[in-house]
């Protein structure tokens, strides 16, 4: 059940070639995306490390989206497939740590999928609102996506 007055902070790690371009397109088309989503451009989801995701939670994220190219379309061959395995491992770590593995999700998008980006952004926002604040969220401290 969601917490009253809770405003989630969600870090969206988006690969430069597809997901970031899709997020950009959604913005250009003025599609409605929640303010809770903070897009961070990365070269490829295959570069992600479990520690990068944990660092996002430690700096105040309530949820993390990993968004890469469609399966088979990664510009670095199998980066998004490697990322999928790391996401699964990170989900296990988060579950064992009591944070909740369901706070991280992976999506696959092409650069033309501005509409789909807006849809998954709203879906992730609703999902994290339902879960409530991350137990790792610093009280009164700096938050993810703010500097």
Q: Which residues bind ligand FES (CB under 6 A)?
A: 15, 17-18, 44-46, 68-69, 74-76, 79-80
* Crossing angle (nearest 10°) for helices 19-28 and 114-131: 100
Q: Which residue number, 21 or 118, has a Cβ lying nearer to ligand FES? A: 21
Taking the complex as a whole, the smallest distance from the CB of residue 92 to ligand FES amounts, in Å, to 22
Taking the complex as a whole, the smallest distance from the CB of residue 133 to ligand FES amounts, in Å, to 29
Contacts of 119 (CB under 8 A, 6+ apart): none
> Are 122 and 34 contacting, i.e. CB atoms less than 8 angstroms apart?
yes
Q: Which residue number, 15 or 64, has a Cβ lying nearer to ligand FES? A: 15
Taking the complex as a whole, the smallest distance from the CB of residue 87 to ligand FES amounts, in Å, to 12
Q: Which residue number, 77 or 95, has a Cβ lying nearer to ligand FES? A: 77
Q: Where are the alpha helices (DSSP H) in 29-111?
A: 50-58, 79-96
> Are 50 and 101 contacting, i.e. CB atoms less than 8 angstroms apart?
no
């Amino acid at each position: 059940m969601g917490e009253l007055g809770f405003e989630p902070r969600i870090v969206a790690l988006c690969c430069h070639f597809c997901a970031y371009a899709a997020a950009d397109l959604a913005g250009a088309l003025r599609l409605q995306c929640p303010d809770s989503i903070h897009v961070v451009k990365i070269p490829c989801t295959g570069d992600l490390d479990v520690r990068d995701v944990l660092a996002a939670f430690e700096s105040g994220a309530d949820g993390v989206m990993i968004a890469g190219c469609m399966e088979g379309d990664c510009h670095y061959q199998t980066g998004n497939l490697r990322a999928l395995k790391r996401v699964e491992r990170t989900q296990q770590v988060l579950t064992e740590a009591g944070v909740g593995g369901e706070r991280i999700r992976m999506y696959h998008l092409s650069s033309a999928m501005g509409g789909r980006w807006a849809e998954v952004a709203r879906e992730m926002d609703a999902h994290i609102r339902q879960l409530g604040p991350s137990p790792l969220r610093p009280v009164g401290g700096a938050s993810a996506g703010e500097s």
